[in-house]
């Protein structure tokens, strides 16, 4: 089973010097603390997808990690660990490997700057090549690595017992008769084991997709192949797409693997399978993967992806604070991050969760990390939400750090000339930072000849919205917060003020004066006075954040607050949960820019829209959604035990206005995570499509306890493509499961 050549070919890296460097490997100094720095040998294994490192512990096996688990490779002393435990002079020899999920960084030092750069470049290249692999190729990698693990005696042959082991690894419970039948079918040489082409044949039988064969057969009318016209018929009739012969020729040219068929302008079954796994054939409308909305409206007309307590990696009582948490949130296209600032030693402000045991990071390190990662996923503006508890002296240090680190990207005065009357647009603010916080006076005052200024402001916004417990309230006795002028002047478009009701806000507040709402208060307003809330959010910004009682950093459902027009519905990005999945689903589209334009009826000053009562109006576009759950492929095991097999079921949910909220689920298919089939149909009524989201969840059915989560995918209702579609699946951290997926049929029609 010599697959090394195949692996390299799949990556398009056969004779690549970077790949050769990684396969050879070398010694690196691993850093864990000031005293723990040890040399370890690292190299890429022959499968080209696993990094191996030796362990010096007597009973510890050599450790590996998968390239797929790397989220970023960063040159220099950029991690909290390297900054803390190494000296500045090794800056150019350091690099860090960051992982997806909650796994700790790997902090390393190479013997020279050139070597460090070689490691970083080579790793970045292979990570990027892996991410660009088609799902078809990913499936091959996954199956081959399972085959390799099952070949216990490493003789490149598979015995019947090794084949059974392989089937369990890929999550199929096959009865012995069927396993033997498959085995005999492939063992053409009657040798009692499979080798070479016999393994390939076995793989082909396994990956056979009966449901796709049936669809292909319906349209392959030209000597068993699909002609360009057959393909156009399929695209128009089944996929409800506007397709031309030119589109069909293009698909055949791009995806047909058989050169013979390609020359005759025909699409084979393999080519059809390849095409059906491409991004343009998936359930998400490919046009929505890019920025497709108007980005020139005022900032407050958008939903803005927002994070709460962004510095925390875990819970709010004793979890670690880390600059890495900012990096992760920003890479997930979060556009509003929170900085909880307190006086630190050596006159350097620190960030941590006050009155708790969470660890601390330096304010300046957080700003540096934010600057570097702010615009990697999205070019649109980032809002720095300051929760300021610092003395005037350290506030001046904060202002100095922001100004010197962010430079001209920091907005410190209104765009354009004179006093603005409205927000600038995300387009006008590309690549810029806005500061949200307290301000000593009105913005208008900075345009007056003699600006009269208060010397202090109210408390921080979370104190004033009553988020502290009574004990802390008594201690503080509503203390006034002295504000440094330099910091105050940096607050231009997002001045934090107390909310005293919609009427008072309409009469007395300027457009740039915004309030923060604790979730209970916001949910109450969204239920009882949704229309007033929508109008309030038409000319002002609102930020909502989780209650202080959520010490485990749990989240709330953001949907009712979006339905009320709230722009910054802040969630704990560090927590994996359904609410966070729904948030990522909302911001999955529009180029993952972190900004989604609100529907027109939430921007119209005369609107009567109320998501609770749903009177007649433009928002009512009653649709019927038909979903058929056909099958799933290569579902990962929930339990690591090799003998455990998934009993898969699929749940389909609609989120949106209360009338649209619904959930349906399939029966469980027992003992098959490899290719379970359901062919079950569901129907949903959707009244306000622009605010609706659809979520597919795959679970492992358990009759004795609650079902276990396998994977999910959430997307906006209006971004669904119709017809036969593959649905990618994300794990609980929001990362794509490389070869798993759902196969569904979607139809949306106007309701009678």
- Mean pLDDT, residues 277-297: 95
CATH label of the domain that carries residue 488: 3.20.20.190
pLDDT attached to residue 641: 67
Indicate if the pLDDT at residue 451 is higher than 70. Answer: no
Identify the band that residue 566 occupies on the pLDDT scale cut at 50, 70 and 90: very high
CATH label of the domain that carries residue 43: 2.30.29.30
Contact present, 347 and 361 (Cβ < 8 Å): no
Give the pairing type, strands 693-700 and 648-655.
antiparallel
Average pLDDT for the chain: 88
Q: Are residues 432 and 557 in the same domain?
A: yes
User: Would you tell me how many other CB atoms lie within 10 Å of the CB of residue 43?
Assistant: 15
Q: Are residues 59 and 106 in the same domain?
A: yes
Which residues make beta-bridge pairs with 725? Answer: 744
Indicate if the pLDDT at residue 673 is higher than 80. Answer: yes
pLDDT digits (tens, 9 = 90+) for 230-274: 999 999 999 999 999 999 999 999 989 888 999 999 999 988 988
| 289 domain residue, yes or no | no
pLDDT attached to residue 292: 97
Report the Cα 310 to chain-centroid distance in Å. Answer: 15
Identify whether 141 is a catalytic site residue: no
Catalytic residue among 141, 277, 288, 353: 353
Alpha-carbon span 15 to 659, nearest angstrom: 58
∠ CA 669-673-675, rounded to 5°: 85
pLDDT attached to residue 642: 62
Closest CA to 714 of 695, 733, 740: 695
pLDDT attached to residue 415: 94
Higher-confidence position of 122 and 189:
122
Alpha-carbon span 133 to 140, nearest angstrom: 10
pTM of the full structure = 0.83
- Where does a domain end: 281, 315, 341? 281
Higher-confidence position of 290 and 168:
290
Catalytic residue among 141, 277, 288, 308: 308
pLDDT attached to residue 171: 64
**Strongest mean pLDDT among 210-224, 240-254, 696-710:** 240-254
pLDDT digits (tens, 9 = 90+) for 622-633: 999 999 999 998
Alpha-carbon span 233 to 243, nearest angstrom: 8
Low-confidence winner among 29-38, 155-164, 297-306, 396-405 (lowest mean pLDDT) = 155-164
Q: Which DSSP state fits 355?
A: T
Indicate if the pLDDT at residue 453 is higher than 60. Answer: no
Q: Are residues 394 and 472 in the same domain?
A: yes
Contact present, 630 and 744 (Cβ < 8 Å): yes
Give the pairing type, strands 677-686 and 662-665.
unpaired
CATH label of the domain that carries residue 255: 1.10.238.10
| 607 domain residue, yes or no | no
User: Is the backbone of residue 491 left (phi > 0), alpha (psi -120 to 50) or beta?
Assistant: beta
Which residues make beta-bridge pairs with 43? Answer: 52
Element (H, E) at 726: strand 723-730
Low-confidence winner among 129-143, 334-348, 592-606 (lowest mean pLDDT) = 129-143
Task: Report residue 746: phi and psi, to 5°.
Answer: -120, 135
pLDDT attached to residue 6: 47
Contacting residues for 408 by C-beta, under 8 A, at least 6 apart? none
- Where does a domain end: 101, 132, 163? 132
Q: Are residues 482 and 587 in the same domain?
A: yes
pLDDT attached to residue 303: 98
Q: Are residues 261 and 197 in the same domain?
A: no
pLDDT attached to residue 477: 45
Identify whether 208 is a catalytic site residue: no
**Residue % of the chain over a pLDDT of 70:** 89
Higher-confidence position of 471 and 703:
703
pLDDT attached to residue 474: 45
| 612 domain residue, yes or no | no
Higher-confidence position of 456 and 220:
220
User: Would you tell me how many other CB atoms lie within 10 Å of the CB of residue 40?
Assistant: 16
- Mean pLDDT, residues 418-446: 94
| 616 domain residue, yes or no | no
CATH label of the domain that carries residue 665: 2.60.40.150
CA distances from 585 to 233, 382, 714 (A): 32, 20, 5
Task: Report residue 577: phi and psi, to 5°.
Answer: -165, 170
Q: Can you read off the two tokens belonging to residue 242?
A: 């506007």
Low-confidence winner among 16-20, 165-169, 301-305, 316-320 (lowest mean pLDDT) = 316-320
| 287 domain residue, yes or no | no
Q: Are residues 239 and 121 in the same domain?
A: no
pLDDT digits (tens, 9 = 90+) for 490-521: 999 999 999 999 999 999 999 999 999 999 99
Contact present, 739 and 634 (Cβ < 8 Å): yes
Identify the band that residue 14 occupies on the pLDDT scale cut at 50, 70 and 90: low
| 451 domain residue, yes or no | no
Q: Are residues 126 and 61 in the same domain?
A: yes
Find the domain containing 404 and state its range: 299-441+456-602
Q: Which DSSP state fits 643?
A: T
Number of domains in the chain: 5
Q: Are residues 483 and 382 in the same domain?
A: yes
Q: Are residues 308 and 367 in the same domain?
A: yes
Q: Are residues 90 and 171 in the same domain?
A: no
- Where does a domain end: 556, 572, 602? 602
| 401 domain residue, yes or no | yes
Element (H, E) at 231: helix 228-237
| 448 domain residue, yes or no | no
Q: Are residues 573 and 673 in the same domain?
A: no
Indicate if the pLDDT at residue 11 is higher than 60. Answer: no
Q: Can you read off the two tokens belonging to residue 218?
A: 């319906």
Q: Are residues 112 and 150 in the same domain?
A: no
């Amino acid at each position: 089973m010599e697959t090394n050549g195949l692996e390299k070919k799949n990556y398009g890296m056969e004779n690549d010097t970077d790949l050769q460097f990684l396969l050879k490997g070398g010694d690196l100094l691993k850093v864990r603390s000031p005293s723990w720095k040890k040399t370890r040998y690292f190299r890429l294994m022959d499968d080209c997808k696993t990094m191996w490192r030796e362990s010096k512990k007597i009973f510890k096996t050599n450790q590996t990690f998968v390239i797929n688990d790397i989220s970023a490779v960063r040159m220099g002393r950029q991690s909290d660990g390297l900054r803390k435990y190494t000296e500045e002079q090794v800056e150019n020899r350091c690099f860090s490997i960051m992982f997806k999920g909650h796994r700790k960084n790997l902090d390393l030092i190479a013997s020279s700057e050139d070597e460090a750069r070689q490691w970083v470049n080579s790793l970045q290249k292979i990570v990027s090549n892996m991410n660009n692999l088609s799902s078809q190729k990913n499936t091959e990698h996954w199956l081959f690595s399972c085959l390799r693990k099952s070949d216990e005696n490493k003789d490149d042959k598979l015995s019947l017992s090794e084949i059974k082991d392989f089937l369990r690894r890929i999550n199929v419970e096959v009865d012995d008769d069927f396993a033997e039948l498959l085995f005999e079918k492939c063992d053409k040489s009657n040798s009692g084991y499979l080798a070479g082409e016999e393994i390939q044949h076995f793989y082909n039988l396994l990956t056979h997709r009966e449901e796709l064969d049936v669809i292909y057969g319906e349209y392959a009318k030209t000597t068993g192949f699909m002609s360009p016209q057959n393909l156009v018929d399929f695209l128009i009739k089944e996929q409800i797409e506007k397709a031309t012969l030119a589109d069909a020729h293009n698909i055949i040219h791009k995806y047909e693997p058989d050169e013979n068929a390609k020359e005759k302008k025909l699409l084979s079954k393999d080519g059809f399978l390849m095409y059906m796994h491409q991004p343009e054939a998936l359930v998400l409308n490919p046009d929505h993967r890019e920025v497709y909305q108007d980005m020139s409206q005022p900032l407050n007309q958008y939903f803005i992806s927002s994070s709460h307590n962004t510095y925390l990696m875990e819970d709010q009582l004793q979890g670690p604070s880390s600059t890495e948490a900012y990096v992760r949130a920003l890479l997930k296209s979060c556009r509003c991050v929170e900085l909880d600032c307190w006086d630190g030693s050596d006159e350097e402000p620190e960030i941590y969760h006050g009155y708790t045991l969470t660890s601390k990071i330096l304010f300046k390190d957080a700003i540096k990390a934010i600057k570097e990662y702010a615009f990697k996923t999205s070019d649109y503006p980032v809002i720095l939400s300051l929760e300021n508890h610092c003395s005037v002296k350290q506030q001046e240090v904060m202002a100095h750090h922001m100004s010197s680190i962010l430079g001209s990207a920091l907005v410190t005065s209104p765009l354009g000339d004179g006093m603005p009357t409205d927000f600038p647009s995300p387009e006008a603010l590309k690549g810029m930072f806005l500061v949200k916080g307290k301000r000593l006076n009105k913005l208008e005052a900075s345009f007056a000849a003699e600006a009269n200024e208060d010397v202090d402001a109210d408390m921080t916004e979370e104190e004033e919205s009553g988020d502290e417990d009574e004990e802390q309230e008594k201690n503080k006795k509503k203390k006034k917060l002295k504000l440094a002028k330099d910091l105050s002047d940096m607050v231009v478009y997002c001045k934090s003020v107390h909310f005293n009701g919609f009427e008072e806000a309409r009469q007395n507040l300027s457009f740039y004066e915004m309030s923060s709402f604790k979730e209970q208060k916001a949910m109450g307003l969204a239920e009882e006075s949704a229309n007033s809330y929508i109008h309030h959010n038409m000319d002002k910004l609102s930020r909502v954040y989780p209650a202080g009682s959520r010490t485990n950093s749990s989240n709330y459902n953001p949907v009712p607050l979006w339905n009320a027009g709230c722009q910054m519905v802040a969630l704990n990005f560090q927590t994996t949960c359904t609410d966070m999945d729904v948030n990522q689903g909302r911001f999955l589209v529009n180029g993952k820019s972190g900004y989604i334009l609100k529907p027109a009826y939430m921007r119209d000053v005369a609107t009567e829209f109320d998501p609770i009562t749903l009177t007649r109006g433009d928002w009512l576009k009653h649709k019927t959604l038909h979903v058929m759950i056909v099958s799933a492929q290569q579902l990962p095991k929930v339990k690591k035990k090799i003998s455990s097999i998934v009993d898969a079921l699929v749940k389909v949910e609609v989120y949106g206005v209360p009338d649209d909220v619904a959930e349906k689920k399939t029966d469980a298919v027992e003992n098959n995570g490899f290719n379970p089939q359901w062919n079950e149909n569901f129907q949903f009524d959707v009244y306000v499509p622009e605010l609706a989201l659809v979520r597919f969840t795959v679970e492992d059915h358990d009759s004795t306890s609650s079902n276990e989560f396998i994977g999910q995918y959430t997307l906006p209702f209006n971004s669904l493509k119709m017809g036969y579609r593959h649905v990618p699946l994300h794990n609980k951290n929001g990362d794509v499961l490389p070869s798993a997926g759902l196969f569904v049929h979607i139809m949306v029609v106007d309701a009678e």
